[in-house]
Chain A
Amino acid sequence: MNNPQRTAILEVMDTVSSSYLQGKIRAVKLSFIAMLAGGHILLEDIPGLGKTTLALTIAQVLGLTFGRVQCTSDLLPSDITGLSIFNRDENRFTFVRGPIFNNILLVDEVNRATPKTQSAMLEAMEERRVTVEGTTYRLPDPFLVIATQNPTEQAGTYPLPESQIDRFLIRTGLGYPPAEVECAIIRKGGIREEIMNISPLLSSDVILSTRKAIQDDVQLSEKVTGYIMQIIAATRTNPLVAAGISTRGGISIAQAARVHAFLEGRDFVAPEDVMAIAVPVGAHRLVLKPENEHLDKEEILRAVINDVPVPLA
């Protein structure tokens, strides 16, 4: 399948990962998948590996509006959604939109916000609208939340509960870049300044039409659906796992697999697409038994997937 939109998106991805975000190809690709699938992404890694840079770059490159929330423990829901302020001149309340009314929202250190704020924001993410004082406001489309969190920091944080974390389509780490790339980055210094000067390469229209094309044109066969079903069923019966991947998780895997297949240039989903995205899409949805909590969820899911026979005919 040779789609002009696909070529364009691949070019952008290539530019981003080669010129600005060296060594983060995987994270860039997953971010694009999240956006094209209409989901949100949670970047989870220690500070200083470029989580924010990644979010900024993507926002800049796509020519979309960008909002940012730095979470702290005294952050209120209204600080994200916006609030009504009394306008003396007009003698009535007017609604001042918060940072959530942007195409791309970077929620930095999401686990520092209080559970009340977290749930208000995550509800908005899921429903794509905000209701303030009886009035419902639609959020813009495309709408992508890039949340970051630091898994090692414990003091004064409110880790996202499993039910909330389930709302992110993809959770991924960034990892350290390869040594030679890291060397070059250290020599050149940060690229925040450069990023601000990137000219947009894709418009929101292209993204929306691509999303529609993926929904319409990429076929998900019964065999591959069965394969996804087998994987999520296997997570539910795994002895290490208390609660396996939910139905929403299955839907998310299917959506992400479609996008992956599209990016690979196919109009059908192959088991390889499922294998490629199942871990970042599925791992954070697993709830491990208390005695197994120290285990790596990604490793467990990878083992489960490897045990499910690939449909061959």
Chain B
Amino acid sequence: MALETAVIQNTLADQFGAKVSNFQQIHDILTFEVNTDDIKEVMGFLRDDKTMRFNFLTDLCGMHFPDAVPERQFGMVYHMHNWMDNVRIRIKCFMDGEKPEIDSVTGLFLSANWQERETYDFFGIIFKGHPQLKRILNMDEMVSFPMRKEFPLEDGGRTDKDDRFFGRTTDNC
């Protein structure tokens, strides 16, 4: 018997009450929000529960919404996969724009180790309890977090690269 989304939603709502919210289907995947402080608890439950059995962390990644209200400027997305029933699930958390911090889930999934390092590298989100939170792809000397929206992708002071030669005009660059 396949795992129905309604079952997942009801189980989570019964178990966690107000800690989980905003259930919706996005691209055929059940998506819901979790309070930042409870992510470890919810993910641990989804992994270990006998009916949920979300045994695999597919991916985790950061989000940045600079125009949102300050306490929802940063976000985390977790994708989990139940291999037995072939069901996927998406979890979102939102964090404060000033000090984005969230519990590390490396204790639940070892693969989260490098994924969280990558997210820290590009978004500057601090993962509390991560065994080795340092940059993984960018140079260690770098001070900025390049995937944040305010980070300019290109160096503005360049004179040797003319936008007109790159198929870009003032409208689209």
Are A and B co-members of a single complex?
no
